[in-house]
Structure 1
Amino acid sequence: MTLADDRLTQTDSNGVRRPSQLRLAVVLGALVALGPLSIDMYLPALPKIAADLLTSESTIQLTLTGTLLGLGLGQLLVGPLSDALGRRRPLLAGAAVHVIASVACLVAPNIELLMVARVLQGLGASAGMVLALAMVRDLYDEREGATLLSRLILVMGVSPVLAPTLGSAVLSWTDWRGVFVALGTLSLLIAVYAAFALPETLPRTRRRPLELRDTLRTYGGLLRDRGFVGLVLVAGFAMAGLFGFVAGGSFVFQGQFGLDQGQFGLMFGASAVWLIAATQLNARLLRRFAPHQILVTGSMFASASGLLLLVTAGTGFGGLYGVAIPLWTVLFFTGLVLPNAPAVALAAHGEAAGTAAALLGAVQFGVGAITSPTVGLLGNDAPAMGVVMAAGTVVATLFLVLMARPWQRDDLPAPGVPAVTH
């Protein structure tokens, strides 16, 4: 890290006050983590919530779908709003909505109000997730942006793994409503920290009018960009590998292979290590290779690993390790795809970074909302998880090769070319 990176803030050529990457990574990482924590932290309490609110477990699971719906739709709304008003106000407003929704979850007397509150909680958390991407795009070019995104993807990858454990820890000394006290307190602390630590990153000269026609025109322009749409789909279907594991892992390793809760926790943690390792390796690889080169290589190897997982899971070859080893390999190479696909996609759309990041996030959570029940419908076993993870990685690679084709673009930096900040 350079001396300049150690300074609390810097000012770029547009007069934008730029925090150090360390401070930015901490606050944006916390904002990104709020979404996964909101999704997964209350999962251990689902049976108890169903009993307390006198409803079925299948009905209570719809509160999870509601959160994903709020996260997806919220990003589509927050993105254009931030391109018009700047990043800070929508970000802080989203955190405030999350705090209010958490309080509503805390006092919800029935399942109907809990569902509404969970949708609002997703809407609130969506602001931080989409604006983290947009703020990175405001401040850094593609190469530097991919480096910081590697750190944010690390947070995104670790959060769903740690969230159920954190939820269990909270439940060990309180009831399920205490989980929402924890979430509301966390979002309040993040909002206060962000208010002091994050400057406005979008100058007034780069803002766009907030009009429905212009918003639809912006979305239309993005959707007509074949390369951008291809990269959005690459990022979305690559997430199927991660969501497929999160949705099916407990059933596979506990139900099928007989691990107890402690052993499964170790297995889940060991799996997360590979995703974490890849996202951190990516930051080093970016010093020698362009983001699109790492993206192509990671996607190809993720697909090959997904197909290997499908074969071993379907045949039973190698037992537990026959599933675990190719699974870890999929997660590793997915960890190279996830930060670079958004970085390359956003590189050509700095003028509408908020809207573009919103579309990226909405597609990723849309895929996640579909992936989780798909694993269950296919049987919640190793072959089901293998099918979903293999399909996601292979489809992502097909979109990369047939539609995105980033190697044909002439606006991407060559390997080794120094980054130029905006």
Structure 2
Amino acid sequence: MWPYKPKTTVIILAPLIFSFALALDVYMPVLPEMRRMFHTSQSAIQLTISVFFLICGFGQLILGPLSDQYGRLKVVWASAFLFIIGSALCSMSKTIDIFLIFRALEALGAAGLSVSAFAIVRDTYDGKDSALIYSYLNGMLAFSPILGPLIGVALITHYPWYSAFYFLTVLAISTALIILVWGKESLSIANRKAFNWSVFYRYFLIGKSLTFWSFTLPAIAGISSFFALFSMTPYIVEELGLPKTTIMYAFGAAGLSFMIGSFVSGSLTQKLGVFKTTVVGTFLILLSGIILIIVYQLTGLTLVGFFGPCVIATFGCALTSGAGASGALEPFGEFPGAASAMFGALQLGGSSIIGSISSLFVLNSSYPLAFTMIIMSLFSLLIIFFKSRANIKTIS
């Protein structure tokens, strides 16, 4: 069984979800180059991001329950293999259609790695301890927007676009080696549940929970804002006529804010609790969207005017993601794999859909990103209000 203390757990599990993050962040600087090399449109290139998010999200609905039946370690191994093969084949793609197929395979591997990591935490810890670990995992993930674009810009400066996928292949192999040496099973045989069609009934039960939605929707608000920001950044930089290295600094600022927010989230959760921490994060995302519109109206599109307010949003996203995962999964100890899968599916798959809608607009202003933040945070606050009302009625 899982023998490690919380800090060691974070170090071992971080590469599993780090692979997912770097598969996005290393790849972002090469988007304009891919558009030219594949002779395709901006919307087709954006689809490669959406497909990754969508498959990585909703793939967890199957992979999570499979890990409930066969254990976390077997799913991690299978997922690492898919990630390695998918990344390698992406680098060899000659057309955008073929690339999309292999990108989906890579995403399925990333989905299994991510859902298994969160399920291992849920198997082993609960309450504030789990919230603390989730926050630290998110903090480790925050290195990706700092490190990923740096690697991506360096690769695209000296090598063709597909060198990014050579890097991801090596990363996936390294992750598999870490699991080979330190990976342990966290789910006992006695607690395993056979995979059958009843899993969809479990999703139905989870979906009926107002508690689940009051934590999941704010997490979606945060990640969809991240999705829109990262999707837009290469085009905003191009619109402003700035060098590619600007992408690195912009992602780095967002990642640093997310990292600080993730570590603050751990201590903030200890003091305020999971629910209040989620509310604070949601308000920060809303505030960022409002500031984006005000600044754009006053100064037009500028580097500081666009990315400055986003630092507030990414800090809030760290709060809603860390506390949201803990709060959403806490009531479902009987089937943590299914709960983790549904949370991940909605967080990533929902963000993919929302981010794709925002990307349909011309990416030369702050409006698509600002409206994504405002609309999603307002929906989140609405469901939080209903949750609070339900709690008051229960007490009375």
TM-score w.r.t. the length of structure 2 is 0.89
User: Aligned equivalents of 1:249 and 1:55: distance in 2?
Assistant: 19
**Is the counterpart of residue 401 in structure 1 residue 388 in structure 2?**
no
Distance 1:328 1:160, change over 3 A: closer
Q: Which residue of 2 aligns with 1:223?
A: 207
Q: Which residue of 1 aligns with 2:16?
A: 31
Q: Which residue of 2 aligns with 1:312?
A: 295
The SS at the match of 2:3 is: strand
Q: Which residue of 2 aligns with 1:82?
A: 67
Q: Which residue of 2 aligns with 1:211?
A: 196
Distance 1:30 1:384, change over 3 A: same
Distance 1:260 1:200, change over 3 A: same
The question of whether the paired residues in 2 share the 8 Å contact of 1:231 and 1:399 is answered with no
**Is the counterpart of residue 20 in structure 1 residue 10 in structure 2?**
no
Instruction: Compute the displacement of 1:75 (Å).
Output: 1.0
- Say which of 62, 65, 71 aligns to 2:56: 71
Q: Amino acid of the residue matched to residue 341 of structure 1?
A: G
Q: Amino acid of the residue matched to residue 30 of structure 2?
A: A
Q: Which residue of 2 aligns with 1:130?
A: 115
The question of whether the paired residues in 1 share the 8 Å contact of 2:149 and 2:251 is answered with no
Q: Which residue of 1 aligns with 2:362?
A: 379
- Say which of 329, 338, 347 aligns to 2:321: 338
Instruction: Compute the displacement of 1:65 (Å).
Output: 2.9
Residues 204-353 of structure 1: matches in 2 within 5 Å? 204-212=189-197, 214-252=198-236, 255-256=239-240, 259-316=242-299, 321-353=304-336
Instruction: Compute the displacement of 1:114 (Å).
Output: 2.0
User: Aligned equivalents of 2:337 and 2:289: distance in 1?
Assistant: 32
**Is the counterpart of residue 179 in structure 1 residue 164 in structure 2?**
yes
Q: Amino acid of the residue matched to residue 148 of structure 1?
A: I
- Say which of 137, 140, 160 aligns to 2:125: 140
The SS at the match of 1:205 is: helix
Q: C-alpha offsets along residues 340-385 of structure 1, whole Å, 9 cap, x if unaligned?
A: 0110111111221111111111112223323433333333212332
Instruction: Compute the displacement of 1:95 (Å).
Output: 0.5
User: Aligned equivalents of 1:335 and 1:325: distance in 2?
Assistant: 16
Instruction: Compute the displacement of 1:69 (Å).
Output: 2.7
Instruction: Compute the displacement of 1:49 (Å).
Output: 4.1
Q: Which residue of 1 aligns with 2:82?
A: 97
User: Aligned equivalents of 2:44 and 2:306: distance in 1?
Assistant: 32
Give the number of aligned pairs.
394
User: Aligned equivalents of 2:16 and 2:371: distance in 1?
Assistant: 32
Bigger radius of gyration, 1 or 2?
Answer: 1
The question of whether the paired residues in 2 share the 8 Å contact of 1:309 and 1:390 is answered with no
Distance 1:304 1:170, change over 3 A: closer
The SS at the match of 2:16 is: helix
Distance 1:210 1:408, change over 3 A: farther
User: Aligned equivalents of 1:357 and 1:409: distance in 2?
Assistant: 28
The SS at the match of 1:287 is: helix
Q: Amino acid of the residue matched to residue 272 of structure 1?
A: G
TM-score w.r.t. the length of structure 1 is 0.84
User: Aligned equivalents of 1:360 and 1:46: distance in 2?
Assistant: 28
Q: Structure 2: any 5+ residue segments left out of the alignment?
A: none
The question of whether the paired residues in 1 share the 8 Å contact of 2:261 and 2:316 is answered with yes
Distance 1:188 1:267, change over 3 A: closer
The SS at the match of 2:335 is: helix
Distance 1:346 1:326, change over 3 A: same
Distance 1:20 1:211, change over 3 A: same
**Is the counterpart of residue 359 in structure 1 residue 342 in structure 2?**
yes
User: Which stretch shifts more, 390-399 or 94-103?
Assistant: 390-399
Distance 1:391 1:162, change over 3 A: farther
The question of whether the paired residues in 1 share the 8 Å contact of 2:88 and 2:166 is answered with yes
The question of whether the paired residues in 1 share the 8 Å contact of 2:60 and 2:112 is answered with yes
Aligned sequence identity (%): 25
